[in-house]
Chain A
Amino acid sequence: DTAVSQTPKYLVTQMGNDKSIKCEQNLGHDTMYWYKQDSKKFLKIMFSYNNKELIINETVPNRFSPKSPDKAHLNLHINSLELGDSAVYFCASSQVPSALHFGNGTRLTVT
Chain B
Amino acid sequence: DIQMTQSPSSLSASVGDRVTITCRASQGVNNYLAWFQQKPGKAPKCLIYAASSLQSGVPSKFSGSGSGTDFTLTISSLQPEDFATYYCQQYNSYPLTFGGGTKVEIK
Tell whether A pairs with B.
no
Please give the residue numbers on chain B whose beta carbons come within 8 Å of chain A beta carbons, in ascending order: none
